[in-house]
Structure 1
Amino acid sequence: MSREDENWQQEQARVNEVTSKVARRMEALEEEVGSVRGQVVDLRKDFWDEVRVNFSSADDLGETSTSLRQQSQVVSERERRHLQSSESLKK
């Protein structure tokens, strides 16, 4: 076997390896995008069901505000994760 044939086979093996890695990564991203999309939809749908507004005292008002902020941050984080996964999948 000539040196050129040997180089060609090595390069083809590398191409096959890279293609396989890309395919596995795409499968993982597709699963993640689907999962996160479902989480975002559920969080948005149930956002106000999870929030309890209590104006009885200043402490309760503070807890309500904190709870709203936390829920909002969770939704935002999941939306960012979904966007980043979708962008990676497009690439």
Structure 2
Amino acid sequence: MNVASSVLRIVGDLSWYLRLNPLASDTPEGIARWWLKADDFSMSDLTSALEHMVQAGVVEATNAADGQVRYRRTGLNARIDEQLDRFIANSRMF
């Protein structure tokens, strides 16, 4: 899968956040506002970054009782930490 550099930067930022806040869970809008606190990316790129992380198995999408989709880490283990660390390292190349 060819991923745009802007998406990889977001993946790196999200990975950093999830390493520091492993129990975090939020909607894409909440992630944009509270986790990333930046407006130099598009919601389309954020959605692509989240999808990339879901496909990699480090993030899962859950349907909340209010009907909104929330994203969170898939687990608290060394394998997930290692993958998040790789995403962080790869994002620094851009």
TM over 0.5: no
Structure number with the higher helix fraction is 1
Identify, as 1 or 2, the structure richer in strand.
2
Q: Who wins on radius of gyration, i.e. which is larger?
A: 1
> TM-score normalised to the size of structure 1?
0.32
